[in-house]
Every structure is written in structure tokens, then in C-alpha cells.
């Protein structure tokens, strides 16, 4: 079914709040606070997980979570996603109700994601089938992406307490999402890609957060071959990137970065030193 879209609510909520604080001089100031709400995802009335989120794009977050956890195979399988903040829930109804959800969700790993993410066992088991090829890249191409991202991070600039993720096509920022956890931000982008049939094989994924195993797995499932972060890398994150073939560039700030994986694809001779 070409261009199929399930029935979905549009239940994004206001994300910034204010409070009064005292600064180091004892002066009163009004500052912004990042919103945070629990959202419990139900799949055919079965409770799957509760995510702590800003709540700005709950339908896309739910879509991306289902996709990255392998709980729904095709967009066409989803009939509807109904988000109701009165009960802090996202109810997903699918056409295929014969999938053994209890079995798929029986083994779960609590990841290092902010707000504690989860990764189900069957996803971890499928890693050996994920193989990507890092494209050639240069220092100048990375600088161009970082420069294009400078006008984003709106909420971080106002209130902090969030991570930002972006899907980039060259210097064109296709989607930028901020959330209290980087795993939520990447899931929301994954949901947007799935809903709009956007392919990841020629894209770059950027995150403000550290590159953990969870981030590598999610980006691999989106078929994005180059991962860029302003933060650091974990040992397991690096091992998985090497196993899958994802280029990994971290500590990227200003005119500095470190290439952890994809060294053969980095055209260092074109870099300005």
C-alpha cells in the first residue's frame, strides 16, 4: 500500500515551563524548565514500556520505538496510534494480532539511555544480520554538517536537560528532534523516516549524546552508515560499529573531531590541518 499512513492523533504537548530561582548573588530570576511526561505504549492492549519524554511528537516516538524494537514488521500492519495524555498512554492497534508480543518482550536489557531505555532480546540477537558500509567523508563535509546544525538545539539553549538528534542529507537537516533521552529522539526520527519512507543509506545521523551500543543498534536499523556525535563513545558502542560497518565520529565540536570507526573511509588528505 503506497503512501499508507495509519490513523494517528496529533497530541504533541507544550514542552517548556517556567520557575523562579535564585542566582549566585541571591537575585530572583525566572528560568525555563524542560517538560517531562511518562508515556506508556500499549500494543493491542498489551503494555510494552513506559517512556519518559517531552511529549512533543508522541506518535512518531511510538512508531519509531515499535520499528526499532522489531515489534511491528510493516507500516501497513498498523491500523491506528491514539495518544491520550489524560491517561498518559499511546494505544497502538495492528491488523496482525498473531505475533507473540509477550515472548518478544520477555527478555529486555535496560540500556544506558537517559531516562533508561530498553532493548529487547530478539533485537540483540539479530545484530549479526546488520551490515552497512561507511561512505567516504572528509573533515570539510563534517564541518559543513556541524555548521548547518548551529541554528538548532532551540530547547537546549533555553532550558538545557535535553539531547538533540538529527538526520542529515549533506548539509540539509531533514529532521531535528530534542527529547529528555537521546533514545527517544532517535526513535522519533526513525518513526518519521518510516512514516515518510525516507531511506537512510546515504544519510548522516547526528546526536549530542554519547555513542552507546543502543545508539549504534538504532541507527543501524535505520540503515544510516555514518554516526556523528559531539560526545564520547563506549567500548561496546565501538565494537558494534566495527561489527556492523558504521562510521563513528565523536567529540565533534568546532574544528575538532575523532574518527573511531570508518578510518578507511575518512579522506584525511583533504582535511585542513
Residue pLDDT, tens place only, 182-221: 899 999 999 999 999 999 999 999 999 899 998 999 999 9
**Is the confidence at residue 73, as pLDDT, over 70?**
yes
Pick 114 or 13 by higher pLDDT: 13
As a whole number, the mean pLDDT across the chain is 86
Q: Tell me the average pLDDT across 47-60.
A: 94
> Is 58 in contact with 42 (CB distance < 8 Å)?
no
Band of pLDDT at residue 117, cut at 50, 70 and 90:
low
CA distances 40 to 2, 207, 263, Å, are 30, 25, 41
CATH code 3.40.140.10 region(s) in the chain: 139-270
Band of pLDDT at residue 160, cut at 50, 70 and 90:
low
- CA angle centred on 240, ends 193 and 186, rounded to 5°: 25
**Is the confidence at residue 125, as pLDDT, over 90?**
no
**Is the confidence at residue 75, as pLDDT, over 60?**
yes
Question: So what CATH class is 139-270?
Answer: alpha beta
Which tens digits make up the pLDDT trace of 229-271? Answer: 999 999 999 999 999 999 999 999 989 999 999 999 998 654 4
Percent of the chain whose predicted confidence (pLDDT) is above 70: 82
What phi-psi label fits residue 59: left (phi over 0), alpha (psi between -120 and 50 degrees) or beta?
alpha
Which tens digits make up the pLDDT trace of 128-145? Answer: 678 999 999 999 999 999
Pick 73 or 137 by higher pLDDT: 137
Collect all residues with Cβ–Cβ distance below 8 Å to 58 and sequence separation of at least 6.
Answer: 11, 12, 39, 83, 90
Band of pLDDT at residue 44, cut at 50, 70 and 90:
very high
Please state the separation of Cα 173 from the chain's center in Å.
14
Q: Tell me the average pLDDT across 103-123.
A: 50
CA distances 134 to 142, 149, 192, 194, 199, Å, are 14, 21, 23, 21, 15
CATH code 3.10.20.10 region(s) in the chain: 7-122
99-104 long-range CB contacts below 8 Å, 24 or more apart?
99/71, 101/43, 101/44, 101/46, 101/48, 101/71, 102/46, 104/70, 104/71
Per-residue pLDDT at 115: 42
pTM of the full predicted structure? 0.86
Q: Tell me the average pLDDT across 79-91.
A: 98
**Is the confidence at residue 2, as pLDDT, over 80?**
no
> Is 221 in contact with 190 (CB distance < 8 Å)?
yes
Domain made up of 7-122: CATH architecture: Roll (3.10)
* Cβ neighbourhood burial of 175 (10 Å; 0-12, 13-18, 19+): buried
Please state the separation of Cα 151 from the chain's center in Å.
19
Please state the separation of Cα 89 from the chain's center in Å.
20
**Is the confidence at residue 111, as pLDDT, over 80?**
no
Q: Tell me the average pLDDT across 163-182.
A: 92
Per-residue pLDDT at 161: 58
**Is the confidence at residue 112, as pLDDT, over 50?**
no
Name which of 151, 150, 143, 210 is nearest 183 in CA terms.
210
**Is the confidence at residue 80, as pLDDT, over 70?**
yes
- CA gap 102, 125 in Å, rounded: 17
Amino acid at each position: 500500500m503506497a503512501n499508507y499512513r495509519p490513523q494517528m492523533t496529533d497530541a504533541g504537548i507544550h514542552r517548556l515551563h517556567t520557575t523562579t530561582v535564585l542566582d549566585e548573588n541571591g537575585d530572583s530570576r525566572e528560568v525555563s524548565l524542560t517538560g517531562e511526561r511518562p508515556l506508556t505504549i500499549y500494543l493491542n492492549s498489551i503494555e510494552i514500556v513506559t517512556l519518559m519524554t517531552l511529549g512533543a511528537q508522541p506518535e512518531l516516538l511510538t512508531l519509531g520505538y515499535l520499528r526499532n524494537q522489531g515489534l511491528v514488521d510493516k507500516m501497513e500492519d498498523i491500523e491506528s496510534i491514539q495518544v491520550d495524555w489524560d491517561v498518559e498512554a499511546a494505544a497502538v492497534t495492528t491488523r496482525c494480532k498473531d505475533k507473540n508480543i509477550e515472548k518478544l518482550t520477555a527478555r529486555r536489557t535496560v540500556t544506558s539511555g537517559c531516562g533508561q531505555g530498553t532493548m529487547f532480546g530478539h533485537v540483540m540477537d539479530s545484530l549479526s544480520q546488520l551490515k552497512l558500509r561507511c561512505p567516504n567523508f572528509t573533515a570539510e563535509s563534517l564541518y559543513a554538517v556541524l555548521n548547518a546544525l548551529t541554528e538548532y538545539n532551540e530547547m537546549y539553549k533555553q532550558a538545557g536537560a535535553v539531547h538533540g538528534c538529527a538526520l542529515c542529507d549533506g548539509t540539509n537537516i531533514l529532521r531535528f528532534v530534542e527529547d529528555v533521552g537521546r533514545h527517544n529522539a532517535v526513535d522519533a526520527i526513525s518513526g518519521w523516516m518510516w512514516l515518510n519512507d525516507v531511506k537512510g543509506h546515504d544519510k548522516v545521523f547526528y546526536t549530542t549524546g554519547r555513542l552507546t551500543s543502543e545508539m549504534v543498534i538504532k541507527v543501524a536499523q535505520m540503515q544510516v552508515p555514518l554516526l556523528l556525535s559531539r560526545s564520547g563513545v563506549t567500548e561496546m558502542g565501538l565494537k558494534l560499529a566495527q561489527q556492523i560497518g558504521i562510521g563513528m565520529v565523536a567529540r565533534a565540536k568546532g574544528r575538532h573531531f575523532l574518527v573511531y570507526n570508518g578510518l578507511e573511509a575518512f579522506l584525511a588528505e583533504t582535511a585542513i590541518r
